[in-house]
Structure 1
Amino acid sequence: MRRLLLRSTLAAVGAALALLGVPLFALGVIVATAPAERRARLVERTSGLQGVLILSSLVIALVLLGLAAGWFVAQRRARLLGDPLTALADRAERLGAGESRFLPLDSGIGELDRISDVLSRTATQVTRNLAAERDFAADASHQLRTPLTALLMRLDEIASTDDLTVVQEEAQVAIAQVDRLSKVVDDLMGRTRVSDPTRPSVSLDAVLASLQREWQPAFAASKRSMRIHGERGLRVRATPMALGQIVSTLIENALAHGRGTVDIAARRAGPSVVIELGDEGTGVPPAIAPHIFERSVSSSGSGLGLTLARDLAEDNGGRLELVSTQPAVFAVFLSEADD
């Protein structure tokens, strides 16, 4: 930038001096090389008042011409610098107004191009951060909705009965739901995408039994049932909160979009434990099946819940797959714990 300004100034001054000095130098050369008689006649003509006026007019004309040339050159050089600055300011203003895209500037001026590159990278990062925040808010909403719904069901049971035994049982479950809700909040606040190699060992039986108690009122209200079977005593490497959320999302999906009994089976498959969940509904439409885990899909039992469940499975070293479309059967693969 400094070099450009220096070159622009020198170009304007040089143009002015050239238009002023070249004619005077040429006139001096002509006078110096002219014969003596011609020089004498020239001196005689330029002497006196008339000569002074002629020379003064010539010098003034050359000065004005030099100033005009310098102004013209300065204007052109100023546009070379001013137009990129104006374009950069305009793009920065649009970025500040909320436009997510920032097209890099290619002005040929190093300093301006570096500023443009920084703004472009910043705009990209801000866009990514905003998208991540929107995804986090959507994930948080979905993760909090399930325990809140289960808690509301338990409170409804308490409010609708006078049996103290039932009240105590439901109150214990409600307390467990509050504890789970607190863990969900803690999990959201400390959420990370980095896999943890020291994932704890969790009893699959305990998690499934807890989920069966949690979802029993919802299944009873819809006059449907849940069946849990398969190998017992299995332990997997996962956080209890994440495993519960994954299976709970699949149960919610089957309850909302499936029919009949929801069947949950657990078994070993090599070094992994597989949890399969299906129902007796019509299944997943073929057009949706390839995209069922995409965040943008929001019908026929897919959408944000399955997207989040898949992400949680991957965060815990496993995976979630749709292994059958008709009927719909989802499978969660997790590493088996040795202890």
Structure 2
Amino acid sequence: MRDRLVRANVATVVVAVLIVGAPMLVAVVTTFVLRATGHGSALIMVAVHVVLVVVLSLLAIGVAARLARRNADEIAVPMTQLADRAEDLGARRPKFQALTTDIAEIDKVSRVLQRRASDLARQLANERDFASDASHQLRTPLTALLIRLEEISLSDDPVLMREEAHICIDQVERLTRVVDDLLRRSRATPDDQVPAVSLDAVLASLQLEWLPAFQQARRSVKVSGQRDLQVLASPDHLAQIISTLLENSLKHGDGRVEVNARRSGPSVVVEVTDEGPGIDPAIAAHIFERQVTTGGTGLGLALARDLAQSNGGRLELLGIHPPQFALFLSEAPGAQ
């Protein structure tokens, strides 16, 4: 852009000099010629040339002003367009179309803004996902906590109330860890070391936690399979994944829920199934996608899948009649 301005200014000056300088040079040469030949009309000719110079000077000023305006428009118009698009970007409207001009500096700024718009779009999407994830991941432990508090309010047995209160405290602590984990996931990108956790302890805790909810629905949860399994996963993530499957079965399934744990090569598989009518084939292929739901937010299974992947595992739908979900996790080294 600097070179463009320099060339435009030089061209304007050259035009002005030619328009003004040429008549002046002619006037000077004519004056000397007339004096040398003794013509008495030399002064009249000089006056005529002076008037001509003044007129041409005004013309030169007009031409220079027009050239300057045109050069200014060539720069100002794309700059104004770029400023308008940047203003939209500042208003968190991340759809930015790059501006293409003949000015390298403006094109470079436009490309930078386009990249920033893409970053902003991803950031906004992450913020929306974080809000959705937070609402869903907090809702599940809050639901279980509410059920426990209702049990306490209806009980007159001090021993039972004390046991339920301790479970409530554990659930509140888990809820706190869920919040802390959500905040870490929203900020961090590093791959943390995945710890080893006792699958038996997590399943036993969840069976006790969900017992009142299933009892209210006149249903039960059966945990079976191999024991003393150690898996590589965050205990809170593992609990959240299986809680999502239990909650999904409580809402959409029927009969007894069976949770079976077993080894499969280097992996540990946790299968969750119930005696319900199953899953509609129309949504089975998309059941782990966000907003795919038969009721609710449509986030639970998508979040559970994401949590499984973040721990090096995977969550799959193995069957639809009856519904059968399988969580695959790596077994902890030396656990066999």
TM-score (norm 2): 0.91
**Alignment partner, residue 68 of structure 1:** 62
Q: 2:282 aligns with which of 265, 283, 287?
A: 287
Within-5 A mapping of 1:250-265 = 250-265=245-260
Report the counterpart of residue 329 of structure 1 in structure 2: 324
Deviations along 1:151-200, one digit per CA (max 9) or x if unpaired, are: 1111111111111121122112112112211221222232245443x322
The answer for the alignment partner of 1:275 in structure 2 is: 270
- Partners of 1:181 and 1:174 lie apart in 2 by 10
Contact in 1 for aligned 2:197/2:230 (Cα 8 Å)? yes
| Stretch deviating more after TM superposition (80-89 or 93-102) | 93-102
Deviation string, structure 1 residues 38-74 (Cα, Å, up to 9, x no partner): 9848x53332xx4343122111111112112212211
**In structure 1, what residue type is equivalent to 2:153?**
A
Tell me if 1:46 matches 2:32: no
1:305–1:331 distance in 2 versus 1, CA, 3 Å: same
Which residue matches 2:184?
190
* Structure 1 pair 152–302 and aligned structure 2 pair: CA distance change class (3 A): closer
CA contact (8 A) 2:12 2:68 kept: yes
Aligned length: 332
SS of residue paired to 1:292? coil
Give secondary structure in 1 for the equivalent of 2:76: helix
Correspondence for 1:18: 18
Q: Deviations over 1:18-44 (max 9, x none)?
A: 222234446677899xxx899848x53
Distance 2:176 2:85 in 1: 45
Q: Is the 8 A contact 1:212 1:226 kept in 2?
A: yes
Q: Secondary structure at the match of 1:6?
A: helix
Secondary structure of 1:287's counterpart equals: helix
Contact 1:317–1:334 (CA under 8 A) maintained in structure 2: yes
Alignment of 1:226-245 (within 5 A): 226-245=221-240
Q: 1:106 deviation in Å?
A: 1.7
- Report percent identity of matched pairs: 52
Cα 1:265–1:165 change in 2 (3 A) is same
The residue identity in structure 2 corresponding to 1:53 is A
* C-alpha distance in structure 1 between counterparts of 2:288 and 2:52, whole Å: 85
Q: 2:82 aligns with which of 83, 88, 93?
A: 88
CA drift of 1:244 comes to 0.5
Q: 1:89 to 1:37 in 2, by over 3 A?
A: closer
Distance 1:301 1:159 in 2: 27
Could you say which residue in structure 2 is the equivalent of 1:304?
299
Partner Cα separation in structure 1 for residue 298 and residue 287 of structure 2: 7
Query: What do you get for the CA RMSD once the two structures are aligned?
Result: 2.3
Q: Which blocks of at least 5 consecutive residues in structure 1 are unaligned? A: none
Per-residue CA deviation, residues 273-311 of structure 1 (Å, 9 max, x unaligned), is 111111222222222122211113233588211111111
* Partner of residue 200, structure 2: 205
Residue equivalent to 2:164: 170
Whether the 8 Å contact between 1:274 and 1:331 is mirrored in structure 2 is yes
Contact in 1 for aligned 2:27/2:49 (Cα 8 Å): no
Contact 1:246 1:309 in 2 (8 A): yes
CA contact (8 A) 1:16 1:68 kept: no
Is this contact kept in 2: 1:195–1:317, CA < 8 A? Answer: no
Letter in 2 for 1:94: D
In 1, distance between residues paired with 2:79 and 2:168? 63
Asked if residue 214 in structure 1 is aligned to residue 213 in structure 2, the reply is: no
Instruction: Please state whether the residue corresponding to 2:171 is helix, strand or coil.
Output: helix
The worse-fitting range, judged by mean Cα deviation, of 329-338 and 224-233 is: 224-233
Normalising by structure 1, report the TM-score. Answer: 0.90
User: What is the aligned partner in structure 1 of residue 244 from structure 2?
Assistant: 249
